Amino acid sequence: MQAPEHTTSTATPNGHLVGYARTSTTDQKAGLEAQLRDLTGAGCAKVFREELSSVATKRPELERALDYVREGDTLIVTKLDRLARSVADLVGITAKLRAKGVALRILSMNLDTGTPTGKLMVNLLGSIAEFERELMLERQLEGIAKAKAEGKYKGRAPTARRMAPEVIRLKAEGKTADAIAKELGIGRASVFRILRVP
């Protein structure tokens, strides 16, 4: 006798559906409850949740979720801004998930990196992030050239700017701004300037 079909499932054929919900300290409680309702409706048996400021550098529950998921699992969020703070941040998170064999699903965008279309969309976002980084570096170089021409060039700041590729690489690996600053010997403010998406 064939088992009855269910409308929602708590697992993909190879893994589980894991949710992540985040609300800022200024959001109403209803915002978190709506996310939890949507994630449960999508079939998530386990949901990581946190309430913190949007400028907080660390998201411990997100780190726990990224550590928890295993190959074949799918991490689900309701909206992109609940997961990532920038395109660069999204690229870093999806790289971590891809390395573990975990798909990402964003309900509001109908994006699922477990599908060819979803992979294409994330690749496009990654290309946009790379384009933004190149524009930022180009503007920085133009600013340095202008400062030199005007005799206003200062030696120390460009050292941090030259670290931009390293800063971006370390951020993509999941390191915090504090850890990046310490490893490269530059100030936290320099790290944030480099990572800020124009």
Rounded-to-10 torsion of CA 127, 128, 132, 134:
20
- Exactly one of 24, 54, 127, 190 is catalytic; name it: 24
Find, among 49, 47, 50, the residue nearest to 74 by Cα.
47
Instruction: State the Cα–Cα distance between residues 86 and 81, nearest whole angstrom.
Output: 8
Alpha-carbon distances, residue 133 vs 48, 81, 87, 161 (angstroms): 31, 20, 11, 12
86 carries an active-site annotation: no
Active site residues: 24
